[in-house]
Structure 1
Amino acid sequence: MRLKHLPSEFQEALPILKKIKAAGFEAYFVGGSVRDALLNRPIHDVDIASSSYPQEIKQIFPRTIDVGIEHGTVLVLDGEREYEVTTFRTEDTYVDYRRPSQVSFVRSLEEDLKRRDFTINALALDEEGNLIDKFAGLADLEQQVLRAVGIASERFNEDALRVMRGFRFQASLGFKLEENTRLAMTSCAPLLEKISVERVFIEFDKLLAGPFWRRALLSLIESGAYHYLPGLKDRGQALEQLLEETKSDTQFKTSEQAWASLILALDLTSARPFLKAWKTSNDFQKKVEDLVSIYRIRQQGPLEKKDCYRFSWDLLELAEQIRQEAGLEVNFDLLEQTYQSLAIHDKQEIVVNGRLLIEEFNIQPGPDLGRMLKELELAIVEDRIPNEKDAIMKFIKELDHE
């Protein structure tokens, strides 16, 4: 098969391929970018595989960076663009079900492609648009099948993260799992416990963000792989509940919204311990926790001004969308009206500060002043007093005499 028109991303990278070939080596576009080009999907990173060894690449190009030279990868700088060029390689036995104990550079494209995870990712494209398909990846693309390269159990035993990658590709592409591949993913799922949580999080996060996340999550549930994910052991029923309680066309707007929906389905009292087990950032934890809090406050009725003041508008909107996707009553207009009617959206907007109160009322800095400022802040938010100096001074004076 030959592509008549190379996508612009490949055309921009053609000089790299041609320069490598002019030096006497083979060079091809490989992996996900080729797959996405064939599916008319957006292309993100253009990866290049070559028969040239890292030191040979460094001799061909004047500007390079050693980003993973021990594994054969050199970053080639071409004007404003960067391209990873990786030497054809084979891999020895894997240690800890993730990393090969040794990488051997080879001159054979087929040897390089056979070590890849799925047939649809084991495709290569030359500079003229000719497709190199050694493992029937094109047929699997046409039939929308996700199939492991070679012996499926070997691929997942080599790198157990491929189990999660399989579910993630299902979420992004909507493909069905080929039977031997599905069985191998199921049998190798316990090995996920040996993979770093951070890497598993990336794949699970992409799964939830995918357009076909429901299909992928169902496959994950059926495989039992969730037992080996942080905080999800024996929680298959709750995961099924996430599917049941969201509309069939639900697409999460952000990662935080997806994880908040997951936590609500799990009915966790606190989101933090669960998210810490996934080794997420403090900022991510805070946003997810806030979404869960907004949702639970909202269950009691419309949000009051003090509720809207606590949270940013984007989180308020995302939480209301979770209700919408669960088929619950929503009122975005009322929510926006309440938020926009706030006299202040941040305590920095209050026309007086602690220093002025100390000077005017001879109040000592400390907990009492802090409580006084908090009461002032809430009084303004609830429209009990206007955000004006005279009204604030009168309010503080009355507080000081209580």
Structure 2
Amino acid sequence: MRLKTLPSEFQKALPILKKIRKAGYQAYFVGGSVRDALLHRPIHDVDIATDAYPQEIKQIFTRTADIGIEHGTVLVLYQGGEYEITTFRTEDTYVDYRRPSNVSFVRSLSEDLRRRDFTINALALDEDGHVIDEFTGLSDLKQQILRAVGQPNERFKEDALRIMRGFRFAASFNFQIEKATFAAMASCASLLEKISVERSFVEFDKLLLAPYWKHGLEALIVSGAFAYLPGLENKEPELFRLIEDLPDSFVFTSSEQAWAFLLYVLNLADNQHFLRLWKVSNHFQKTVLNLLAVYSLREQNQLDEKMVYQYGRELLLIVENLREAQGLPVAFTQIETLNQKLPIRSKKEMAVNGGVLIKELGFKSGPDLGAVLDAIETAIVTGQLENSKSAIFAYLRSSRSDSSS
């Protein structure tokens, strides 16, 4: 097969291939970029494979960086672009179900393609647009099948993260997982416990954000692999509810929205503990937990200025998006109206602060002062108090007078 017109991303990188070939070596575009070009999908990263060894690549190009030279990868900076160029290689036994004990450089494209995960990723493209396919990748693309290269069990025992990548690819492309490949993913699923949580999170997160996330998640559930992911053991009914509660056309708008709804259906006693198991950032935790809090408040039909001020317009709209998908009453217009009416957006916009109250009204620093500032903030946000120094001082004098009497 030959592509009549190379995508612009490949055309920009063509001088790299030609320069390597001019030096007497082979060079090809490989992997996901070739797959995406054939599927007419956006191309994100252009990877190049060659029979030239890293030191030979460094002799061909003047500007390079050793980003993974022990695995044969050199970063080439050329004409304003950055390109990862990796030497054809074979890999020895995997010692931890993730990394090979040793990498051997070879001069054979076939040997290099043989070590890849799925047939649709084991494709190469030369500078003239010819597709090199040695493992039925083109046929599987056409039939929308996800099939492991060679023996499936070997591929997943080499790198257990490929199991999660498989479910993610199913969710991204809406491909059916080939029977033997799926069986191997299921039988090797326990190896996911050997994989770092951070890597599993990346794949699971991409799955949830994919256009066909329901398809990928169902495969993950049916395989039993979910049980080896943090906090999901014995959560099969809840995970199926995640699929059932949202329409087939629904796509999550952000990672935070996806994980918040996941937690909602899981109905856990300690949501923060679950997020910590996944080792997500504190900022991510806070956003997800705030979304859950808003979701709970909206279930109680609560919505006022204080909610909009405390959680922010963006988070409330994210929750409304979920409510709309479930056919629940929504309040997009009301949220916008309340947001526009807010007299302040944060405590920093208050006409007074702790320093002013200490200096001009004799307040003492400490918890009591904090409580006073919180009360002022609430009164301003709810429209009970004008955000001016004179109004706030009058409010405080009145409050002191009431308390003394």
TM range, smaller chain: over 0.9
CA distance in 1 between counterparts of 2:295 and 2:178 reads: 39
> How many corresponding residue pairs?
402
1:82 counterpart = 2:82: yes
Q: 1:362 deviation in Å?
A: 1.0
Structure 2 partner of 1:239:
239
- Cα deviations across residues 335-379 of structure 1 (Å, max 9, x unaligned)? 211222111111111112222211221111111111110100001
Counterpart of 2:75 in 1: which secondary structure? strand
CA distance in 1, matches of 2:326, 2:275: 22
Paired amino acid for 1:336: E
Distance 2:400 2:126 in 1: 79
Q: Give the residue type in structure 2 aligned to 1:328.
A: L
How far did residue 399 of structure 1 move? 2.8
Residue identity in the other structure for 1:398: S
**Equivalent position of 1:349 in the other structure:** 349
Any conservation in 2 of the 1:54–1:86 contact (CA below 8 Å)? yes
Deviations 1:140-167 (A, max 9, x none): 0000000000011110011000000000
Normalising by structure 2, report the TM-score.
0.98
Hey, what's the Cα distance between the residues in 2 that align with 1:37 and 1:14?
15
- TM-superposed CA distance for 1:269, in Å, is 3.7
Q: CA deviation at 1:79?
A: 2.7
CA deviations 1:316-337 (Å, max 9, x no partner) are 1101111112221112111211
Equivalence for 2:123: 123
AA aligned opposite 1:253 = T
Alignment match, 1:101: 101
The answer to whether structure 1 residue 198 and structure 2 residue 198 are counterparts is yes
Superposed CA offset, 1:195-227 (max 9, x none): 000000000000000000000000000000010
Give the Cα separation in 1 of the matches to 2:319 and 2:100. 43
Aligned to 1:381: 381
Q: How does 1:52-91 map to 2 (within 5 A)?
A: 52-91=52-91
Contact 1:271–1:285 (8 Å) recurs in 2: no
Which whole-Å CA distance do the structure 1 matches of 2:24 and 2:301 have between them? 71
User: Is the deviation greater in 92-101 or in 382-391?
Assistant: 382-391
Unpaired runs of 5+ residues, structure 1, are none
State how far apart, in whole Å, the 1-side matches of 2:234 and 2:132 are. 44
Native 8 Å contact 1:372 1:399 kept in 2: no
**Which aligned pairs between 1:293-332 and structure 2 lie closer than 5 A?**
293-332=293-332
| Unaligned runs of at least 5 residues, structure 2 | none
Which range moves more in the overlay, 338-347 or 85-94? 338-347
Give the letter aligned to residue 335 of structure 1: I
What amino acid sits opposite 2:95 in the alignment? V
What SS does the aligned partner of 1:95 have?
coil
Aligned to 1:27: 27
Q: Which moved more, 1:271-280 or 1:302-311?
A: 302-311
What is the aligned partner in structure 2 of residue 151 from structure 1? Answer: 151
TM-score (norm 1): 0.99
Counterpart CA distance in 2 for 1:283 and 1:379 is: 28
Shift of 1:51: 0.3
TM-aligned CA deviation for residue 32 of structure 1: 0.2
Kindly provide the CA deviation profile for residues 109-155 of structure 1, in whole angstroms up to 9, marking residues without a partner as x.
00000000000000000000000000010000000000000011110
SS in structure 2 opposite 1:100? coil
Distance 1:340 1:298 in 2: 20
Please tell me the root mean square deviation across aligned C-alpha atoms, in Å.
0.9
The alpha-carbon deviation at position 305 of structure 1 amounts to 1.3
Match of 1:339 in 2: 339
Q: Secondary structure at the match of 2:358?
A: helix
Would the aligned equivalents of 1:65 and 1:75 in 2 still touch at CA under 8 Å?
yes
Moved more, 28-37 or 339-348: 339-348
Tell me, in whole angstroms, the C-alpha distance in 2 between the residues paired with 1:327 and 1:239.
Answer: 20
- Identity, in percent, stands at 59
SS of 1:364 mapped into structure 2? coil
SS in 2 for 1:257: helix
Letter matched to residue 168 of structure 1: R
Spell out, residue by residue over 1:256-284, the C-alpha distance to the aligned partner (whole angstroms, 9 max, x if none). 00000100010124421111100000010
Contact 1:118 1:149 in 2 (8 A): yes
Equivalent residues of 1:260, 1:288 under 8 A apart: yes
Q: Retained in 2: the 8 A contact 1:271–1:288?
A: no
Structure 1 residues 324 and 270: CA distance shift in structure 2, 3 A = farther
Cα contact 1:246–1:327 (8 A) shared by 2: no
Q: Which amino acid aligns with 1:210?
A: A
Q: 1:30, 1:19 → 2: CA distance?
A: 17
Q: Which amino acid aligns with 1:142?
A: K
Distance in 1, matches of 2:284 and 2:345, equals 22
* In structure 1, C-alpha distance between the alignment counterparts of 2:275 and 2:213, rounded to whole Å: 20
Taking the aligned partners of 1:72 and 1:249, their CA distance within structure 2 comes to 42
Once the two structures are superposed, what CA deviation does each residue of 1:50-89 show, in whole Å capped at 9, x if it has no partner? 0000000000000000000000000000132100000000
